[in-house]
Amino acid sequence: MIKYREIASYIRDKIISGDWYYGMRIPTQRQLANQFEVNRVTIIKSIEILEAEGFVFTKMGSGTYVNDYLDEDFISNKWSEMMDWSLSLRSQYTVQLINKLEADNSYIHISKGELGIDLIPHLELKNAMTNVSKYIGELSFGYNNGYGYIKLRELIANRLSSEGINVTSDNVLITSGALHAIQLLVTGFLSRNTLIFSNTPSYIDSTHVFDYSNMKKVKIPYNNFTEFYSIVNHYPGIKEKAIYVDPTFNNPTGSSLSIKEKESIMTCSKLHNIPIIEDDIYRDIWIDSKPECPIKALDTNGNVIHISSFSKSIAPAIRIGWVIASEKIIEQLADIRMQIDYGSSILSQMVVYELLKNGDYDNHTNRLRKILKDKRDYMLNILDKEFSTLAQWNVPEGGFFIWLTLEKDINIKRLFSELINKEKILLNPGFIYGSEDNTVRLSYAFESKENINYSLKKIKQYVMKS
């Protein structure tokens, strides 16, 4: 096709698709010339065609605009209007920005909540895929019943007995990650009147998963779970209540609940008959010593739903997590999945099954723990040297994060924005996790030591300046 016709066709498609809409100024001739690597004469020719067709009009000295090219009863794209009526909430602006920049490899991701590329078990995944492909011919590949791949469910149930959770495959449902598990629980069990007691700071506060309708959230400070009783006691009249807690290597603070705190939550749950969602996604990522038992292991009446995932220990992109609950709850969740998405990808489930079965998962996590210990200590060492007068932090015993509380006069929003714009460093501010202090989340899991060193020193420069 002749180049100017091709460009005219590109612009026409943008208008027809609704991406460029009535009244919108299209990119300048210069911008279009750069985009298509042509001179401006070619762009002018394209625009003349579209003007003749009535798709655009040009205001002298102002630019070219999308015309009201349809007949009179044309009204612009209705979907945009409906977006505003919907109950679903957009992510916080900062979270949207982080989600967008996290996909950009030109940034240093010093807060990222996932394993670095060098820590992904690529070889093990490759072997697992090869094994799966050997018996792929025997698989029906049909719609499953919403519960997930039975062999994976059996294996997960068996493995959990070493954590003190005694269940069978009937108590296991496979999800597309832990957040997805929470979403299913919200859909199946919570109502718009539910009051959620959720620990804070929390990864959950960077999402809207519990902001459904006028559902209310009461935050319980992670470092003061002894207040638990009295906080819960403030809401005696409300029937529908649930507790959300991530007891092991909390995201973002890296802290864990002690066994006493877990027991106290169980007692409170029993006394007030409040069910618990236990998000235990970082359990396998311990560094110094194996964590104490999950809350689910203390459960005596099925009030605890235990969720976890392989996103932190294998890779997020395989999208495999799980829910442990009593059979009736699992049955309800499976029914919901048959209405929402018919379960998770069988390929991912089988690949994870192979990794677990042949011991590769355990070998990989053993190796992972050593590397993460080394990287954590490396980061702590730099912090000790560079930040001792500027900030305070904890020493996490597992997980991916160090939680830094900076001195009060430092403007976190400006720090976040300057690091992005001037240094291409993505540092997640604590306020997206509900923190009201001057906090940031650092991750030793994703970047190389070199980048950890480089970015911490850059961060220090900007902290010193403010």
192 Cβ contact list (under 8 Å, min separation 6): 212, 213, 214, 215
Count, residues in the chain? 466
Nearer to its own copies, 29 or 313 (CB): 313
Closest distance between its own copies and the C-beta of residue 352, in Å? 10
Closest distance between its own copies and the C-beta of residue 246, in Å? 17
- 10 Å CB burial of residue 208 (0-12, 13-18, 19+) is middle
Lookup: tokens for 58: 């040009």
Nearer to its own copies, 209 or 427 (CB): 209
Closest distance between its own copies and the C-beta of residue 286, in Å? 22
Closest distance between its own copies and the C-beta of residue 347, in Å? 5
Closest distance between its own copies and the C-beta of residue 318, in Å? 6
Nearer to its own copies, 168 or 388 (CB): 168
Q: How many C-beta atoms surround the C-beta of residue 344 within 10 A?
A: 26
Closest distance between its own copies and the C-beta of residue 325, in Å? 7
Closest distance between its own copies and the C-beta of residue 213, in Å? 9
Closest distance between its own copies and the C-beta of residue 146, in Å? 7
Contact (CB, 8 A) for 466 and 411:
yes
Question: How many helices (H) does the chain have, and how many strands (E)?
Answer: 15, 15
Nearer to its own copies, 76 or 358 (CB): 76
Nearer to its own copies, 37 or 73 (CB): 73
Report the 3 state secondary structure along 138-184: HCCCCCCCCCCCHHHHHHHHHHHHHHCCCCCHHHEEEECCHHHHHHH
**Radius of gyration of the CA atoms of the chain, in A:** 26
Closest distance between its own copies and the C-beta of residue 260, in Å? 20
> How far apart (Å, rounded) are the C-alpha atoms in residues 189 and 307?
15
Contact (CB, 8 A) for 454 and 108:
yes
Nearer to its own copies, 39 or 133 (CB): 133
Nearer to its own copies, 61 or 137 (CB): 137
Nearer to its own copies, 163 or 418 (CB): 163
What's phi and psi for 300, nearest 5 deg? -115, -5
What's phi and psi for 256, nearest 5 deg? -125, 155
Could you give the angle at the alpha carbon of 96 between the alpha carbons of 93 and 99, nearest 5°? 150
For residue 101, the SS3 value is helix
Contact (CB, 8 A) for 402 and 380:
yes
Nearer to its own copies, 319 or 393 (CB): 319
